[in-house]
Amino acid sequence: MKKSDSIAGQPASELIDKRIAELGDWRGETLRRMRELIKEVDPDVVEEWKWMGTPVWSHDGIICTGESYKLIVKLTFAKGASLEDPAKLFNSSLDGNVRRAIDIHEGEEIEAGAFKALIRAAIALNTSAGKTRARRAK
């Protein structure tokens, strides 16, 4: 796994580990599980630490962010509006033009296969967008 964006020499992956440990409750466990699913789909995913403490997973662009709030863990997909979501995982930020999010509440489980399909679709979209730009540049 590539590492990116660190604070004072601390790799983003360590900062994310620290965030998960600091949460110490269902939110930390949820963030840990979703991170694990992302890495299962893309072992080379780039983990970043942006915007004063937001975990970000990228592959040729942002796949999603993982934010923790008092009542939810929010996974925001940067280009979610362009992704097929047959399992209807997106349940937040549905009225935006670009982003879509999944809000996970305590006790809720996200179906792993459906989530992994969204991750694969986000990576494919990011990868195809880069190829399209490269072709236009010629």
Residue in 64, 62, 4 with CA at minimum distance from that of residue 34? 64
Q: What is the reported pLDDT for 7?
A: 56
Side-chain-side CA neighbours of residue 97 (13 Å): 0
Residue 88, classed as helix, strand or coil, is coil
Q: Looking at the predicted structure, is the pLDDT value of residue 138 above 70?
A: no
Q: What is the reported pLDDT for 131?
A: 56
Q: Place 129 in a pLDDT band, splitting at 50, 70 and 90.
A: low
Instruction: Find how far residue 86's CA is from the centre of its chain.
Output: 18
- Taking the complete model, does pTM exceed 0.95, yes or no? no
All structural domains of the chain, each given as residue ranges with its CATH number in brackets, are 12-137 (3.90.1150.200)
Q: What is the mean pLDDT of the chain?
A: 88
Specify the residue for token string 């459906």.
114
Q: Looking at the predicted structure, is the pLDDT value of residue 133 above 90?
A: no
